[in-house]
Chains A and B, each alone.
Chain A
Amino acid sequence: MGLQTMTYFVVGLTFAIYIGIAVWARAGSTSEFYSAGGNVGPVVNGMAIGADWMSAASFISMAGLIANMGYGGGLFLMGWTGGYVLLAMLLAPYLRKFGKYTVPSFVSTRYYSTGASVVAVLCLLMASLTYIIGQMTGVGVAFSRFLGVSNSTGIYVGMAIVFMYAVFGGMKGITYTQVAQYCVLILAYTVPAIFISMQLTGNPLPQLGLGSNFAGTDMTLLGKLDEVVTGLGFGKYTTQMPGSMLNMFVYTVSLMIGTAGLPHVIMRFFTVATVKDARYSAGWALVFIALLYTTAPGVAAMARLNLHATINKAVMQSGGDLFAPENSIVYAERPDWMKRWEVTGLLKFEDKNGDGRIQYYNAKSKNADFLAKVEAAGWKGSELKVNRDIMVLANPEIAMLPNWVIALVAAGGLAAALSTAAGLLLAISSAISHDLFKNIWFRDMTEGQELMAGKIAMACSIVVAGYLGLNPPGFAAGTVAIAFGLAASSIFPCLMMGIFSKTMNKEGAIAGMLAGIGITMFYVFAHKGIFFIKGTSFLGMFGGKANFFFGISPNAFGAIGAIVNFAVAFAVKNMTPPVPEDIAQMVEDVRIPRGSKAVDGAH
């Protein structure tokens, strides 16, 4: 079977499974629509959280990011997993005990205020909508690169599939398709990684392969990689860091608390039967996430080494001369996978010194010795532009794996994007139908009407998400970082104080959220323009220097926003009326597991 046919077959098969689940798991009540009936087991829920969490970015882009960043890429690995420790110990069990369908419902009751609830809904919508743009574009990208259809056709097909199980099945349909999608995506990620680890190190487990010797030598794989990348003028793989150690530290904090504050993840903890199950499902979720996240560093390092080895023959020779002219491969004789990916624009070659060979190195190096060697070899600039997504997407082809593995990667990328999109859509539509319609605007809605409102809100959200995917706003690239910044600086502190402080009042919580988001957006806009409009950045106000606040980058600023949130909240609390007695009582009640009941919409 040809590659194209095989890919259609595998992707078609996975879609058929998702549709089958959609038919089987239709939601008949609001309880099924919002929380899958509230009786999902912790292992199943953990798997669904895994799929919910691991997005197109985790699947397609993360390994490439780590490959470029080396050691510093660890901030994504630690940040996006360490957040689950916070979720398990600080938020999930208590929010589950509280027992409402959505995050804004907790905020509205705990802070006895519609205003607080509206602010929480706004934070949720901003975080989730920005996040979903990336998923929809991911769907389009996976379709167009592997199935040879246009980007927009891909997005329409993706929308139709999500529509079927999300609108009719709600949380119930989404939960069980996410389980299937997890299985597809984890297979798609680990199978090529196992093959490649086997080829490069002789050890089939990438987690161990990354710490093994490079096949046929007594040199470690990481040692070899360090030697190659420093030889080509890049930073040393095992120690290279983004900016300062402080920036890496703060960035990791931001990702961790952002992870713990993302509503579409928190919502999944409302689907289990007990507080105890909520704790365990966080553990299972992290097991399933760790399978991919501990494989990713292996994929990253090995793909990076494979890429350099393809382009410079000296990489595979012991003591080979990276600068010898005959070691740079001739462009006309490049491997087929390079030709295929050049068509997509993810690889670009420009023969700057006109020798017909490819030189790929770090032209921005400041090392004088290295630059002298570059000069002597007659290199006139790095001639290859490599998009980081290639590290995962083209990996099976670089390693010359069979067609079914390549087809599986396509299905995996789609599974990752669709499962995250569905979770986000549910968070958005339930905030609209439950928190705005049912709890604020139309309080006398019947359950049947609310279910219908939920389905209509879901259908509208899919259309909006599809539109944003087809016409991504210019700032799309920066948005996922914004989602984390928002969640870290607004939702996480608000929930923390709601559980761990009996005295935090509504004035404090609202002021804190607004201050947290405000300062975070201010810092981001200073760097990237007001609402990301080009030319409106105002770094000039701060001496024109990027990362002016102690060298912290805008993407890492959520943690600072969270600190501001806490500080403002406590200051305002001390100047305003105390919390009512019944709320303090409610907080005490949330802290103990006994008496947990099925989540519901009552208020």
Chain B
Amino acid sequence: MSMDNSGKAYWKDTLALVRNFLIVWFLVSYGAGILFAPALNSIHLGGYPLGFWFAQQGSIYIFVALIFIYAKMMSKLDEKYDVHED
């Protein structure tokens, strides 16, 4: 399939989706886990200071969730633009 208008729209939507996921990816690891960790440490999650939790636990759980949600949404997008595999 050549990149006709529908192909361009598919790629635009894909990029937008990836951008949104990477914003979350950035916020939980670099944001909550590093840049804002000192501030978040005054909040506690059980026995964990929150910034510490994001750096050593939370960001990993969120990464896993992000990939599965991404895979699912991409499958939907593939079907919407009729570019999915048989």
**A residues bordering B, Cβ < 8 Å?**
66, 71, 73-75, 77-78, 81-82, 84-85, 88-90, 93, 207-208, 210-213, 220-223, 238-239, 245, 248-249, 252, 274-276, 279-280, 282-283, 286-287, 290, 293-294, 297, 585, 588-589, 591-596
Contacts and interface: CB of A to CB of B under 8 A. Distances in A.
Nearest to A71: B52
Interface size class of B (residues with CB under 8 A): 35 or more
A163 to B, nearest CB: 35
B21 A74 contact: no
A477 B7 CA distance: 48
* Residue of B45, B59, B63 with highest tally of chain A CB at under 10 A: B63
A77 B10 contact: no
Contacts of B51: 71
B30 A211 contact: no
* Residue of A84, A88, A213, A220 with highest tally of chain B CB at under 10 A: A88
A81 B33 CA distance: 13
Interface string B13-26: 01000100110010
A252 B54 CA distance: 14
A245 B34 contact: yes
Contact of B78 (A276, A293, A588): A276
* Residue of A73, A93, A592 with highest tally of chain B CB at under 10 A: A592
A594 B1 contact: yes
Interface of B: 1-3, 7, 10-11, 14, 18, 21-22, 25, 29-30, 33-35, 37-38, 41, 45-49, 51-53, 55-57, 59-61, 63-64, 66-68, 70-71, 74-75, 78, 82-85
B84 A276 contact: yes
18 contacts: A74-B56, A88-B71, A89-B18, A89-B22, A93-B74, A222-B47, A223-B47, A238-B41, A238-B52, A239-B38, A239-B41, A245-B35, A252-B29, A276-B85, A279-B75, A287-B64, A293-B60, A294-B57
A275 B79 CA distance: 13
A238 B35 CA distance: 15
B52 to A, nearest CB: 5
A82 B59 CA distance: 8
A71 B37 contact: yes
Given A239-B38, A588-B2, A290 B64 contact: yes
B34 A222 contact: no
Contact of A593 (B66, B70, B85): B85
Contact of B18 (A82, A90, A208, A282): A90
A249 B31 CA distance: 10
B7 A592 contact: yes
B63 A252 contact: no
A73 B55 CA distance: 9
B83 to A, nearest CB: 4
B11 A279 contact: no
Q: Which 9 A-B pairs have the closest CB atoms?
A: A74-B55, A220-B47, A211-B46, A283-B67, A279-B71, A588-B3, A297-B56, A211-B48, A211-B47
Contacts of B22: 85, 89
